[in-house]
Amino acid sequence: MKFGRLGVLMLCSAALFNANAADNQTLPALDKPFMAPEFTTMSESGKSHSLSDYRGKLVILNFWASWCPPCRYEMPSMERLWQQVQGKPVVILAVNVGEDADTIFEFTGHYPVSFPLLLDQDGSIIDSYPVRGLPTTFIISPEGRVTHRIIGSREWDEAQLIGQLLELATPSR
């Protein structure tokens, strides 16, 4: 993965675009929540993860790719969110679409994150979710239901958004 001048410029554009929309932070709720499709896959670091491992916690399931500017843009705020929810029943799973472990490892050199980065090299996981563009993020309730879908990046460590997430993390709302 190369971050050339154009990549930096595109990222700056993404940042500016997102900054303009920073006052429009929302977690759009789905009209029809559905049971989250189960999957098992490896992380970039070689550990196996199944979605069902996280039943009882709020799962923030993010689909991304290293070449996608809005995906890169939201990674640092997602990491800050991850740090702020340590000890809370919230987990972030970021599923990379179509790339290999080496590419993701190189990505983490530029964007250090400590939540699991999962592999979906053949696209089978993303195909099981209603995703049409990257990034797309789903909020999965502690009971395993997909309740919210976010298309495009967000400032994940914004206070109001964290408050919403923590409220959703409370079982049997």
Partner 1 sequence: MRWTMVVMFLLLTGCNQHVSHGIDEETGLAYWQVEDGKISLRLVQRTPLQTQSFFLGRGFTRQQTETIAHGCVFQTIFKNISNESSSPVVLSYDLDQWVVHHDGKQPLKTREAWQQHWQEQGVAKAQQLAFNWALLPTRQEYRPGDYNWGMTAYDLAPGGEFDLTVRWQEAGQTREVIIHDLRCSTDIAQPNQEEES
Question: Least Å distance between CB 119 and partner 1?
Answer: 12
Residues 156/91/97/118 CA torsion (nearest 10 deg): 140
Q: Does 12 bind partner 1 (CB under 8 A)?
A: yes
**Token pair belonging to 53:** 């491992």
Among 36, 61, 68, 94, binds partner 1 (CB under 8 A): 68
Q: Find out whether the peptide bond into 135 is cis, omega within 30 degrees of 0.
A: yes
Q: How far apart are CA 59 and CA 50, in angstroms?
A: 12
Residues in contact with partner 1, shown as a per-residue x/- string from 79 to 108 under the rule CB under 8 A: ------------------xx----------
Q: Does 133 bind partner 1 (CB under 8 A)?
A: yes
110: enclosing H helix or E strand: helix 101-110
Among 91, 139, 150, 168, binds partner 1 (CB under 8 A): 150
Question: Least Å distance between CB 34 and partner 1?
Answer: 15
Q: How far apart are CA 120 and CA 99, in angstroms?
A: 7
Q: Select 104 or 142, whichever has its Cβ closest to partner 1.
A: 104
